[in-house]
Structure 1
């Protein structure tokens, strides 16, 4: 070709650059489509992966970086937001002399303040359209004891509304509406209810305490708060079916019927907060209070006290974790030989992580050792350094004022010299949110500087010990730690002290947030207990012999080897005498959340599992296939294989047919609950038609199955049994 020479010539370079630009444009277009697809599907992690890929293609394209920052915020990666913003701002200033895009700066500011977006994962818009979403509704009713002037009343109501909105947003809820002297807030999450319930109750207590402080100044103001939780049906992110209306009315009725400065909650809202708040049952009232079991919420429970009580006489025994305890003991013996170690206790909720940790710590304290325990909590994920700050308050008995004597004691302990003490006193005051005793210049330290200095200071505090005493730094529930606490722990793990030191943590067996690599260290993974240990566990819990052999057998089968399931099922049968089976719509709240999370971890297959739950205790592939959507039919075999590998389903062979069933009866109950009553009846009718027409092979008792599906296809109750 005329004018073309070897690589390096101007024509060749122009051609190569053109091809490169075309390929880059093509790649970006594909990435945009894939990113949009995963966002619509609600798969945050995959959306984040492709947002990172798109941003790396051209790091100077701010729209791509803005998409990445949005995905990072939705995934809760606040630490990565802070790190990336520094790089983006530096490039923008050096190359273009400008500040980053407004979208990026707003996300950064939310991350700095510990307030990421409370996101709702978008739901699929293909069949099935509807799915359950649990919601908590909070209603705040304001009244006046002595203020008669309407204008003055209005002014105080506006102030209460402002307080309420601030606290609801802080704890991850949405101030839905307010009218007159009533404010309504909602707390909702498509996957897990435990954290949502804790947030709502602590928010209610916070509002009550704030308003009580105003009333104490002589303003004659009072507040009563009602909380109720109930599943709603959500069609997509903009539409919800009106099942939730009853929950709102219940919360409002509780608030309107409450007494001065009272927080009332129904059992549905409270049952998932066991061990987090103190409450007392309210006697039934004939004056029109909603027909729900009502409780008066008194206060939050000290998480430290809860941990100390784990090995109390009233708690379940330590059973079946001897191998893991021996492994921890070996690690500790290694540490005592002047070594350092990081070790994790991982497992799903309810596997006994805290009990194992507590038992191990109790065993180590027979010799000279300092144990420092840090408690990460779900309601403090957005509060920078919270568990560290909590430990410092506890260790140095910090009160409502940070006096000079306490500061001197702190600084002497960690070896801070005089020139830096005034500055670090301000750092502690801001982080602990406690005013300094000494007066003077009180200009706040900028947050970037504040957090960097706090990381250095808290790292010293956490490693504080007399001489070279062996130190165990135990972190409970590290999966709930805020990004700054995790950064401190990572620093300690990378460069531990020279003296014997063990960083020991518990964590749920879930994918951690990006940038947190604690799950890669040496660990034990707690799995289900074997049958012999479950039987021992049951005998210890039922030492009075309230449960017969039949019930004990049901608990052993239904518990799936999970200690928490055993505890909850024993309580269920002990509290409901003359009951011989668990009703599918009476699952204890803690179990319901666990099972819901397990179902959601299967992704789109959770819709397939809802159909499988309709079919009965066992089903064939041929019976399930006609109930599937076109998308599910394309790869049904691989879906079933995946569900078997993840131990959601199991299979057996009977008379030449492969029969599938749920690995756990409770899991089937929860999958069935995800369907609306209308959808259930439709699926039962379709199954009945298939069985009666004998077009599809079915299991060993066809008459029993036909009778069951005929009965269920006619059932009209929303909470129909199976």
Structure 2
């Protein structure tokens, strides 16, 4: 008798891939005893509510619930979509989980414990293999997370050493030392998360870190100081500081703060976050909380008193103080007049009160306002920034806005607004940066050169990769790291893995093309690439994939910074990584079929273009300081691009 045909079911399957991710393992404490005391139906209702609580809480941090194992849950951060801050998201989700589970409205008191680990693993659809899991994972990372969870106390969170290193100073940690864990040969360093700190972002964390001297940004610093002098005289200024991730925007901002530390002024620093793009006035609330000096254990009365002390400096009227207290979710204990207006009118009144507060501060002392990572801001905060730009014209106010090239600032073209784009550092500057990281230690010249070539002028990449090489177990391990051989040193540092993988995941269909190109090398013919991806008619001009392919490196097999402008030469049909940023164009050399990198001084970082015209031949600049001398780092006023071939 013939067996019935199997009807395939449609589902979202993903190929198995090797990637770094952070695994969270959450367990319900005392579930066995609870199941023995309760009726099965009552216990089932508790488990259902517990799982629903985990799913909803984790979703707030873009975590992915891979599976439920009885009273335990496995959550991925970094799969299927990676984020730059997956480790931070996992730790924040862990703290939120233990609080949410404890607050569940059940007859029985519930508590959870969490273990978090970060590492490289194989993850993807393994339902066709012996594992039979749609979102299976292989590696020691999930095992470590589960073992760390078993060490935690009820309501506690324990994380691995790598997770702690990547998450950084945004949390308070208690060192548990190296603990013996079943299945692991060597003792494993473990940390208990005690809570959050006042640090709200990686940019904010730079203030408390030991930083290298500012390298290769003398011209940019001189411009900022000139704009500050004009602002102090009453002619307010706005500087739009643009650059790709890791280029040094926050480092330049910290250097400016250090330069002005001895001058009398008021600084307002607003940090936008990728996790709060939909949180109204999140950067504004964070700045006010820091300025007022709120502590986690402060009572509502103490917080309100601190807010009053802060607002007294600018003689804020009671009506505005009531709006600020409401914005900070502080109860009105009768000291403020009641706020009884419609939500839309309340929003406008709050923005106007913030304007008045800034204006009052500018009358006391010159004000330096810094908006970090404006590409992650919420719409209401963006409106406040625009109002502050208008306010700066006639006040002692310098506004510095940092953002990535994908953000289009709406204030371009105004007389008091200056655009400043940070270019990649020259090789000689990267050499000095490596010298600062290495210090008195030894690093062979060939490895230094490899770092310079692979990091393509990105200071953050150069610094982190140098640290990773220095952490290798000897010179031979460091050399094997660059040769691609197995080594304790990570070829791409763990601190950069999440950032690079998040860019790779955002490529969409071009991700496969980029991975093939990265496996070939930094330079390859179009026909070879098309044959390997089995798309003979694939053309970069129609798909835009070339713009993404050029951002990958053979040695690291990871994505580099994207180019915002390029040209595709149809006559030569050869592609090469441009190795630059901003207004970088792909131009063909008349003496070779290769494509060389040159920068167009007229291209705008707010758009990218693909043209089929024969490119203009440009003489290559080989000198170390050629970029600087040729005006690549020159300051210019922002203007909208005139070329409308393709606007991003």
Which residue is equivalent to 2:361?
Answer: 465
Query: How far 1:575 sits from its partner (Å)?
Result: 0.9
1:225 maps to which of 97, 114, 120? 114
- The 1:623–1:454 alpha-carbon spacing in structure 2 relative to 1, beyond 3 Å, is same
Structure 2 residue 452 is matched with structure 1 residue 547 = no
1:273 paired with 2:167, answer yes
* Inter-CA distance 557–492: structure 2 relative to 1 (3 Å threshold): same
| CA 629–307 in structure 1, closer or farther in 2 if over 3 Å, else same | closer
Aligned to 1:70: none
In the superposition, relative to structure 1, how do residues 443 and 451 fare at CA in structure 2: closer, same or farther (>3 Å)?
A: closer
Contact 2:427–2:457 (CA under 8 A) maintained in structure 1: yes
Deviations along 1:542-592, whole A, 9 cap, x unmatched? 111331222222212222111111111111111112221426574213333
RMSD: 4.7
Where does residue 328 of structure 1 map in the other structure? 224
Shift of 1:473: 0.8
Q: 1:486 to 1:292 in 2, by over 3 A?
A: farther
Q: 1:138 aligns with which of 10, 21, 24?
A: 24
Per the alignment, residue 299 of structure 2 pairs with 400
Q: How many residues matched?
A: 525
Match of 2:372 among 476, 485, 506: 476
1:283 and 2:283 are equivalent in the alignment: no
Spell out the pairing of 1:299-338 with structure 2 (5 A cutoff).
Answer: 299-303=195-199, 310=206, 314-338=210-234
Q: Secondary structure at the match of 1:224?
A: strand
Match of 2:460 in 1: 564
Displacement after TM superposition at 1:533 (Å): 0.9
Structure 2 alignment gaps of length 5 or more: 1-10, 127-131, 485-489, 552-561, 581-648
Which residue does 2:513 correspond to in 1? Answer: 608
Q: Report the counterpart of residue 62 of structure 2 in structure 1.
A: 172
- For the 8 Å contact 2:83–2:501, the answer to whether it is kept is no
Greater alpha carbon shift after TM alignment, 524-533 vs 359-368: 359-368
1:244 paired with 2:137, answer: yes
Higher Rg: 1
- 1:358 is displaced (CA, Å) by 1.2
| Cα shift readout 1:253-308 (whole Å, capped 9, x = no counterpart) | 44234334332334665554334344547524243479996642423343279767
- Report the CA distance shift for 1:555/1:245 in structure 2 as closer, same or farther (over 3 A): closer
Stretch moving more, 542-551 or 560-569: 542-551
Point out the more displaced range, 283-292 or 449-458.
283-292
Q: Deviations over 1:691-715 (max 9, x none)?
A: xxxxxxxxxxxxxxxxxxxxxxxxx
State the secondary structure of the residue aligned to 2:214: coil
Conserved 8 A contact 1:144-1:220: no
Matches within 5 A, 1:634-653: none
Aligned to 2:83: 193
Alignment of 1:362 onto 2:362: no
Structure-to-structure mapping, 1:90-101, within 5 angstroms:
none
The 3 A distance-change label for structure 1 pair 640 and 460 is closer
**Alpha-carbon spacing, 1:135–1:240, altered in 2? closer, same or farther (3 Å):** farther
Q: How far apart, in 2, do the equivalents of 1:140 and 1:663 lie?
A: 45
Q: TM-score by structure 1 length? A: 0.61
Contact 2:237–2:393 (Cα < 8 Å) also in 1: no
Gap change, CA 1:199 and 1:456, over 3 Å in 2: farther
- Deviation by residue 1:643-682 (Cα, 9 ceiling, x = unmatched): 669769999xxxxx997555679xxxxxxxxxxxxxxxxx
1:590 and 2:476 matched: no
Query: Residue by residue, what CA displacement relative to the aligned partner does 1:174-211 show, whole Å, maximum 9, x if unpaired?
Result: 55665653344444565542233322211112233556
Asked if structure 1 preserves the Cα contact closer than 8 Å seen for 2:204 and 2:271, the reply is no
Is contact 2:180–2:186 with CA below 8 Å preserved after alignment?
no
- The equivalent residue for 1:205 is 95
Q: Give me the whole-angstrom Cα distance separating, in 2, the residues matched to 1:289 and 1:365.
A: 49
Distance 2:541 2:274 in 1: 37
Contact 1:267 1:294 (C-alpha < 8 Å) held by counterparts: yes
Contact 2:24 2:75 in 1 (8 A): yes
The one of 513, 517, 521 equivalent to 2:410 is 517
Does the C-alpha gap of structure 1 residues 325 and 388 become closer, same or farther in structure 2, counting only changes over 3 Å?
A: same
1:42-89, Cα deviation, whole Å (9 max, x unpaired): xxxxxxxxxxxxxxxxxxxxxxxxxxxxxxxxxxxxxxxxxxxxxxxx
Contact 1:257 1:289 in 2 (8 A): no
- Give the conservation status (yes or no) of the 8 Å contact 2:231–2:237: yes
Aligned counterparts of 2:437 and 2:383: Cα–Cα separation in 1: 41
Cα distance, 1:339 vs structure 2: 0.7
Larger mean CA deviation between 344-353 and 202-211 belongs to 202-211
Contact 1:193 1:272 in 2 (8 A): no
* Residues 417 and 374 of structure 1: CA distance in aligned 2, closer, same or farther (over 3 Å): closer
Which of the numbers 310, 323, 344 marks the counterpart of 2:240?
A: 344
Query: Do the aligned partners of 1:266 and 1:292 also contact (CA within 8 Å) in 2?
Result: no
1:462 and 1:187, CA in 2 relative to 1: closer, same or farther beyond 3 A?
A: farther
State the distance in 2 between where 1:343 and 1:595 align: 28
Q: Tell me if 1:259 matches 2:153.
A: yes
Determine the C-alpha separation between the residues in 2 that align with 1:146 and 1:599.
43
In 2, the alpha carbon distance for the partners of 1:637 and 1:416 equals 57
Going from structure 1 to structure 2, the CA distance change for 1:151 and 1:437 (only over 3 Å counts) comes to: farther
Contact 1:649–1:663 (CA under 8 A) maintained in structure 2: no
In structure 1, distance between residues paired with 2:185 and 2:344: 49
TM-score (norm 2): 0.67
Cα gap change, 1:459/1:174 in structure 2, threshold over 3 Å: closer, same or farther?
farther
